[in-house]
Structure 1
Amino acid sequence: MADGHFMMAGGNVFRMRGPREIRSQCGAICWRREADEVQVLLVTSRDTGRWVIPKGGQIDGLDDPGSAAQEAWEEAGVRGTVLETPLGHYTYRKGLRSGSDVDCDVAVFALKVQEIRDRFPEEGQRDRRWFTPAAAALRVCEPDLSALLASFSPPADTNPDSLPLRPY
């Protein structure tokens, strides 16, 4: 039917929905080495308290890796060097205050943590905790993020002269 509806067998009429909006976001797998063990940092979401990586929309004036690094600062209080090439992507559905939701596609960047602060913009709004990548993979809800965490290993060489790393 041309009016945005179609009829199924049995006479049931369903409304056709257009393509869903997909928002682009940038996130960071913040990592460190502690006693020869790689650890990644997760934070809780402000709305549901579930474990996530720092992430958010692209910030005006910053590219994707810069936006991921800024989100890591705002949400987790960490600064470091960010790999300019994404590790991968994952998608999730974000609930909005209006009651509707939107699909988000998150480009994920590795950020080697070099500084951890106790005071940061979203301090008191989130918890943060270090996990092994395997343990972090079990804590998050999004399957593609879980897979990225489970397979995470730091860049083989974190010398800023040999990799496209940028300090933040």
Structure 2
Amino acid sequence: MRDFLKHWSPQVDTAPALRQAGALPYSIVEGRMAFLLITSRRSGKWIFPKGAIEPGMTPWESAAHEALEEAGVTGEVSQSVVGSYRASAGADGSVLLDVDLYPLRVTQQLDIYKEKGQRMRHWATLSEAKRLLADPVLGRLAMRLHAQHIPS
């Protein structure tokens, strides 16, 4: 819906949006970076964990909390944003979200977690993540994090 509206009204991207925090979960194994993707409950598309910034939590703490609830992982979350993107929510996509993504180096993957059974999770290389992720901006943010951690 947002893309359709942008065609007719370029001001859509400057519309007010709710701020959310997301995690970009990753792990480095034998010098290679892998990213943990999850599916959206509504559309089934591949995304990174995200959600509202919880009262009493910093944005990066909220991002780590979302990763635990939605993907069943814990780890070391960065206080620095790797980047931001705009998304839409709601049944008709009418709610705009500005999501700040915080890198989360995964140290533990749980077998039992809050949203198990509601989502799938999948570890992917950078090239696979770029292909699977629903929003190309998410692939670019994964690429940015990869470039910061893995020498060319």
Does the aligned pair in 2 maintain the 1:133–1:151 contact within 8 Å? no
Residue identity in the other structure for 1:35: E
Structure 2, gaps ≥5 residues long: 1-11
Residue identity in the other structure for 1:92: A
Structure 1, gaps ≥5 residues long: 1-16, 157-168
Structure showing greater radius of gyration is 1
- Once the two structures are superposed, what CA deviation does each residue of 1:82-118 show, in whole Å capped at 9, x if it has no partner? 0101011011122x14x46111111010001011101
RMSD: 1.8
Q: Specify the alignment match of 2:24 in structure 1.
A: 29
What's the offset of the Cα at 1:59?
0.8
Instruction: Determine which of 58, 61, 71 is the counterpart of 1:63.
Output: 58
Q: Percent identity?
A: 33
Structure-1 separation of matches of 2:93 and 2:30? 45
Residue identity in the other structure for 1:135: E
1:82-121 superposed matches below 5 A: 82-94=77-89, 96-97=90-91, 99=92, 101-121=94-114
Structure-1 separation of matches of 2:135 and 2:86? 7
1:47 to 2:70 alignment: no
Higher helix share: 2
Q: Between Structure 1 and Structure 2, how many residues are aligned?
A: 137
Q: Specify the alignment match of 1:75 in structure 2.
A: 70
Structure-1 separation of matches of 2:93 and 2:81? 29
Does the aligned pair in 2 maintain the 1:42–1:130 contact within 8 Å? yes
- Once the two structures are superposed, what CA deviation does each residue of 1:122-167 show, in whole Å capped at 9, x if it has no partner? 01100000001222122112232221112322765xxxxxxxxxxx
Q: Specify the alignment match of 1:130 in structure 2.
A: 123
Higher strand share: 1
